[in-house]
Amino acid sequence: MMARIHKKLRQEILKEKIESNPFLTDGELAVLLNVSIQTLRLDRLELGIPELRERTKQMAERAQDKLKAIASNEIVGDLIDLELDKQGISILHITPEMVFEKTQIARGHYVFSQANSLALAVIDAPTALTGVANVKYKMPIHVGEKLIAKAEVIRKRGNKSFIWVKTRNEKQEVFRAKFIMVSLEP
């Protein structure tokens, strides 16, 4: 068991942990810092760090303000982070409506749509289309899972952007895609 950490040091570590992974829950942070959830919440309040739900909401609002090639209501999942022509992150919660009744496995088009809409979102152009999509479904996805998709622009050539999207659940990569997105002039 980890020894207790001095309050100032613990709060510095808390800030670093949330900066590196803003999706950590109070419970996960409490375990990492070897304190009670109540102590963790007091530290968070003292530092002015909002709870997970509010952090996620603030990130989503900032990301949606940057969109160009796609409207915010066309994104599949919740857009959490966006740097145009660089990278983006979205989260999709798999609901009972998204799975096959018999197998309880997620329908592939939801997972693809999350990745494809995220790839469109990172394009810094008023109009863009999917030129090519090369996809790989790596693991079955079930109801209740939270999918975190991360898109990265790996190359630009003329009006084409080459984008990797990797989607993970809580444990492992479940889907990946390489897109060639084509920007159109208005």
Q: Which residues of the chain have pLDDT under 70?
A: 1-4, 60, 62-69, 71, 186
Tens digits of residue pLDDT in 16-28? 988 888 778 899 8
Q: Which two tokens stand for residue 45?
A: 């309040």
On whether the pTM is more than 0.75, the answer is no
Question: Is domain 7-49 in CATH 1.10.3720.10, yes or no?
Answer: no
Contacts of 129 (CB under 8 A, 6+ apart): 181, 182, 184
User: CATH for 62-183?
Assistant: 3.10.129.10
pLDDT at 64: 67
Q: Check for a shared fold between 7-49 and 62-183.
A: no
The one-letter amino acid code at 76 reads V
pLDDT at 174: 97
> What radius of gyration, in Å, describes the C-alpha atoms of the chain?
19
Q: Domain extents for the chain?
A: 7-49, 62-183
pLDDT at 67: 65
